[in-house]
Amino acid sequence: MSRFMFFPQQLQDGNIYGGEREPPFSILSYTWGRWSIASGPRLPISGVTWTIPAVDERRAFTVTSFHDVIRQVGKHNRFVWLDVACIDQENYAVKMDEIGRQASIFAKASQVYVWLWTMPISTLQPAAEDIHRLWVYTRPMSSVIRPGSVPSYTVTDSRERDSRGFSTYHHEDISVVSGILKRLKMSVVRLLDDCYFSSLWTLQKAFLQRQAVVLSLDAQPVTYSSDGSSMPISFVMDSLWHLSTSDISIPMDVQERVEDEQEQESQVSEIRERVKRAGLIMFPFATNPNIQYGMARFRETSDKLDRIYGIMAVYNLRVGAVSPGADTSREYTLDELEDEFAISLNARSPLLGQLFLHTDRPPQGKSWKITQQSWGCIGLELL
């Protein structure tokens, strides 16, 4: 790995890395903690004082794939921020301090990449395209409704493409809905089955850098079919949001004309539920971080304390062992971290600290405290 330099490897006074002062750098965002093992093949990185973590190659990615994706990231910048190479994995105090700097690090990156390592490009590219273009619009088209007739509904097809290479042509035949829904559900499930969409840490990172480029298992970028430019993670999430909010139910007056209506309704519900369980409701447009905090309950962590440590950067807060000057020998409980987080949030912004609604009755004396079972608000809407 000698061609690349990793932060904070070889740091000199004045933020100088490899002879360059504050050089531009890229970040690779991925998930690996749930598959870490004590011994096994490791990414060969020189110049670090800690042991690079190993992952179970039978259940996750291989060192070869890891190496390939870093080479892809290195095409944009010679300097790369990679967690296993830049966060001391064996010094807890240093590790927690670096975790506290996540918001700043992602803000300064010139490019961020998201690695969806469960899918090769041959699977990921068509899934991403399907999710964007296979819209099912089941609202009546006023121009074609006549008294006594069955309303017409629109389903996008791939015969005409917009400037990004996606379809603009619409069918007006309800009979094609079933096939479209099946294909759409398959693509949504395939994409959201990737471990990136179940990790809490990656939910935070996607919020911090919404323009991150999506890479496949084989280190290939997902692209727009029209011009070959890279597709950002925000574009994929925006499409998923549309799926979860579009009115795609089958109206009662045409149900008898639709084959397998119950199956279609089930597919619609499953698509929406998968988007919800990935924590992506309102994600593309939510500027209220309480939305992400509430969605965090759907994501997984390998350490229960990461329920706070893995999401607090969306608020640019540092609590617990991550606080400046914290006693890192202290053992926190999750309740203590949640209290400290809520207190810090209210101190930073009393409005934001109370801009939520409880979905369960809170413990006595704790109604003031936001929890991950709360729902954040945008405007007057409850999410």
Q: What is residue 72's predicted lDDT score, i.e. its pLDDT?
A: 95
Question: Cis bond leading into 8, ω under 30°?
Answer: yes
Q: From the centroid of its chain, how far is CA 251?
A: 33
**pLDDT for 161 beyond 80:** no
Task: Grade residue 237 by pLDDT with cuts at 50, 70 and 90.
Answer: confident
DSSP character at residue 211: T
Are the C-beta atoms of residues 7 and 81 closer than 8 Å to each other?
A: yes
Mean pLDDT computed over every residue of the chain: 81
Q: Which residue has the higher pLDDT, 288 or 322?
A: 322
Task: Grade residue 55 by pLDDT with cuts at 50, 70 and 90.
Answer: very high
- CB within 8 Å of 22: residues ≥ 6 apart: 15, 16
Helix, strand, coil content of the chain in percent (nearest 5): 40, 15, 45
Q: Which two tokens stand for residue 240?
A: 């998923």
Task: Grade residue 227 by pLDDT with cuts at 50, 70 and 90.
Answer: confident
**pLDDT for 215 beyond 50:** yes
Q: What is residue 242's predicted lDDT score, i.e. its pLDDT?
A: 76
Question: For the segment 121-151, what is each residue's pLDDT rounded down to a tens digit?
Answer: 999 999 998 887 775 443 333 333 333 333 3
Grouping H, G, I as helix, E, B as strand and the rest as coil, residue 230 is strand
User: Position of tokens 């749930």?
Assistant: 34
Question: Which helix (H) or strand (E) covers residue 80, if one does?
Answer: strand 79-81
Q: So where are the chain's domains?
A: 5-115, 121-139+174-283, 286-376
Grouping H, G, I as helix, E, B as strand and the rest as coil, residue 21 is strand
Q: What is residue 158's predicted lDDT score, i.e. its pLDDT?
A: 44
Task: Grade residue 14 by pLDDT with cuts at 50, 70 and 90.
Answer: low
Task: Grade residue 61 by pLDDT with cuts at 50, 70 and 90.
Answer: very high
Q: What is residue 124's predicted lDDT score, i.e. its pLDDT?
A: 96
Q: What is residue 285's predicted lDDT score, i.e. its pLDDT?
A: 58
Lowest-confidence pick of 197-206, 211-220, 367-376: 367-376
User: Position of tokens 């008294």?
Assistant: 147
Q: Which two tokens stand for residue 44?
A: 């060969």
Residue (of 188, 289, 294) closest to 241 by Cα position: 188
Question: For the segment 275-310, what is each residue's pLDDT rounded down to a tens digit?
Answer: 888 988 766 556 788 888 988 999 999 899 999 999
**pLDDT for 176 beyond 80:** no
Instruction: Report the pLDDT averaged over residues 17-26.
Output: 81
**pLDDT for 38 beyond 80:** yes
Q: Which two tokens stand for residue 183?
A: 């294909």
Question: For the segment 363-383, what is each residue's pLDDT rounded down to a tens digit?
Answer: 999 999 999 988 765 543 434
**pLDDT for 171 beyond 60:** no
Provide the whole-model pTM: 0.82
Q: What is residue 112's predicted lDDT score, i.e. its pLDDT?
A: 96
CA distance 217 to 123: 10
Grouping H, G, I as helix, E, B as strand and the rest as coil, residue 255 is helix
The proportion of the chain whose per-residue pLDDT surpasses 70, expressed as a percent, equals 75
**pLDDT for 156 beyond 80:** no
